[in-house]
Chain A
């Protein structure tokens, strides 16, 4: 199949999957089979597309033209393909995990869950492949709307409150700032197409560009730049697979992806490096990195701690984008991949612990490594990757980002990155350390064992791992963290194509 034909099928596939999921609502096994088949097929399509592509002449698919010159169009480019590959690879993995998790956790409304999940993935791919800012914005809003029912999944008062904050912050920033910046850009340039080197005419005054940059970046609430980050910890009320794929990968990465994309294709790197606003944003990102890490230290709830860690890690990517040097952008895009694999592993582990032991607090995890050794081992792998130690993938992205801060001459920011790594050790590694070396509390009970269906009469300190489906998913992503250390070069080649 040609690249153009493949491109045509990428968005309809998950949407058709959604329809099939809804139709199978009475047959859970079929419904889950549809999810798995759709997600696997989608990854194959995206991988095939990336193999067929030629960067010189990327295919362009125009879906509609609502206003003259303003099109709804898809066109793949390196950064988008990278993001699409990550999202579509992790969807089947998460689906496997979700089946184990949702069933053993006895969640309700599972059809709505899988359907909204599929729509979210379609929206994410729309963002990844958007040919212009308008298309990106459309799918960006769709992603917010499609993930809303996942956040409020449990329907409790707390979930509804979280949902309001989620929707309010994400749509508030996107309508309030991003739409304004888009219309303003349209009025200045008459186009919103992603173009290498930027679209603003050379004579545009820098205060206008600076204001636009601020509007765009703050308008991308999904990037969780402070002070618009509160939605992410709030979204943790969602079931763990949602937190794992959407709030560690798809949604937040859609945010930083948007920022990278507009830095490279709307403003152009050279323009960014001259803007004072970019410097301010870089320092704000640095502030976000450090303060979110400090907050993470104080969070006893494991998912909340991971959420703040995500906010901090997103700051890295924003920082890289705002430096206006090539290494910053490549480092940022590499970090999208590395952080995705590492953070999804951590969330999977947190969910596995919840399913097996019903424990949510870090302080309750003492000695858990003896009961769930594989889970804890995977948690250690993910943590090391986020800290940036070899042989984990995270090493390379941190390396590039530190290099970028040196290239741009902002030594302060180098120190920030190094300090943040130390903080990562403090708030992440403590979990496996407690797990393996902590002294288990006297009352390690077997309530969790009932849930997993294993023999309840077994010895109290025996090994109870999560359902095999969960473990499989954890194994894949944790292995991914290590494999990426050795295969980072392939990704780098892809992202470097972006800047030529």
Chain B
């Protein structure tokens, strides 16, 4: 099948082409429909790709017929397929949710641009995941980032503008660092293909240029990842962006940044360079620990639920950094698992908050008081996804926590295990503040009665909630793929 052969590029091109189409057609309803169709098509392609990759090994696609390493290579291995599936499915779910939410939160004149930008973010993120070329990766990163700055700025609150500006400045610094890093590597090796880079780097690894390049890349990606202490753009961006955008960014953008980190450390530079010649392991663990504790602690004191979840995201990034920093197979598996599971939790939570915003127009803890009776399905979704965030057994979060703790204990690092568990307990406290407010505070009777969110919003939310429960019971997909992908990544034979 000719079409099947071109799937690696179609996944990216579909949303990329749909974006200008939206603008050209210029009708709100149609723009949404086009975006949704493109996202669903892209997601189905991703399913097919993951299936192909897990059965017959990595895929290589020479863009424009130019053979790598001269031409741009699109390369999908298990890790790529896994993240690709996550990004495209989340984007499709978020888009199916978006129509009502956008009607409520985004100005009518901006709605078409909003969908176009959303598609560009998706195209950029999928591009990052499928490309095997370092410079191409940078280009896609810029596409995704620029589009997401625009999306954040479309938030209903005026503070969205300053949040977007902040995000723009920090994001651009990050992108510049990444570009400088790639430049340094190109200087030393003369290639941009990542596999080629991996093969040629060891010969020149012991040079200041390569070390500097590695440092620039790590800081740049760290900024995109919102790794402590490079996270300052995130709380405002998540809080003031439209709900749909918060959900999309939380579930996909930081996850793709983590993918870049994994790819660079383990795929390009290799464990020996990053962990033995450079102190990346210790650094990631230290920053991860501080991120987990500080993010969770700050989350405790937030009165806006969106902001609370944003700080919780910083803590979750900390878990992933910590797990990556262990450098063991179990550690990397744990990072990949949490990448997937956290997307499920935060996706569900932010979308549920979107439904809350749709009905009551605010997400303060006080605004949620007594909402459990008014919007039972939405609040139940928040409760279940929140339990998953804590890591209660039979939820996806438990599987993450299990592997995280296992990975630390394997290396005898029990203080780290304690940090992870303390993080869970802090999560219990901040999640419970939400639950207590929704279920055990009285509804203010002077407020107008509120209806449950419409079905078109509940459906994607509950699909994600079901995912949270399903992947806590049956982990063939998550653990299975994460383990194999780790083996491929660490074995160095992609």
Contact = CB atoms under 8 A, between A and B. Distances in A.
B432 A167 contact: yes
B113 to A, nearest CB: 44
Contact of B393 (A137, A180, A184): A137
Interface in A117-150: 134, 137-138, 141-142, 145, 149
B474 A64 contact: yes
A183 interface: yes
Interface string A53-86: 0000000000010110000100000000000000
Contacts of B390: 171, 175
A476 B428 CA distance: 40
A187 B479 contact: no
Contact of B392 (A141, A149, A164): A141
* B393, B421, B422, B440 interface centre (most CB from chain A within 10 Å): B393
Interface in A142-161: 142, 145, 149, 152, 155, 160
Contacts of B436: 160, 163-164
A137 B409 CA distance: 19
* B392, B399, B436, B475 interface centre (most CB from chain A within 10 Å): B392
A72 B440 contact: no
A409 interface: no
Contact of A175 (B391, B472, B473): B391
A172 interface: yes
Given A67-B399, A67-B402, A145-B392, A175 B421 contact: yes
B406 interface: yes
B391 A66 contact: no
B422 to A, nearest CB: 7
Q: Does more than half of chain A's interface fall in helix, strand or loop, or is it mixed?
A: helix
Given A141-B392, A187-B409, A180 B428 contact: no
A179 interface: yes
A66 B409 contact: no
Given A152-B440, A155-B440, A180 B418 contact: yes
A288 B379 CA distance: 40
A28 interface: no
A134 B392 CA distance: 12
B440 A172 contact: no
A67 B479 contact: yes
Contact of B421 (A72, A168, A180, A187): A180
Given A64-B473, A137-B393, A175-B391, A183 B409 contact: yes
A183 B425 CA distance: 17
Contacts of B421: 175-176, 179-180
A66 B472 contact: yes
Given A134-B393, A172-B428, A175-B391, A180 B417 contact: yes
A175 B475 contact: no
B57 interface: no
Contacts of B425: 171-172, 175-176
B393 A138 contact: yes
A78 to B, nearest CB: 26
A179 B405 CA distance: 9
A72 B393 CA distance: 11
A186 interface: yes
B429 A168 contact: yes
Contact of B475 (A66, A168, A172, A187): A66
29 contacts: A66-B472, A66-B473, A66-B474, A67-B399, A67-B475, A67-B479, A72-B394, A137-B393, A141-B392, A145-B387, A145-B392, A149-B439, A155-B440, A155-B442, A160-B436, A164-B432, A167-B428, A168-B429, A171-B428, A172-B425, A172-B428, A175-B390, A175-B391, A175-B421, A175-B424, A176-B418, A179-B421, A187-B409, A187-B410
Interface of A: 64, 66-67, 72, 134, 137-138, 141-142, 145, 149, 152, 155, 160, 163-164, 167-168, 171-172, 175-176, 179-180, 183-184, 186-187
Closest 3 CB pairs of A and B: A138-B393, A183-B405, A64-B473
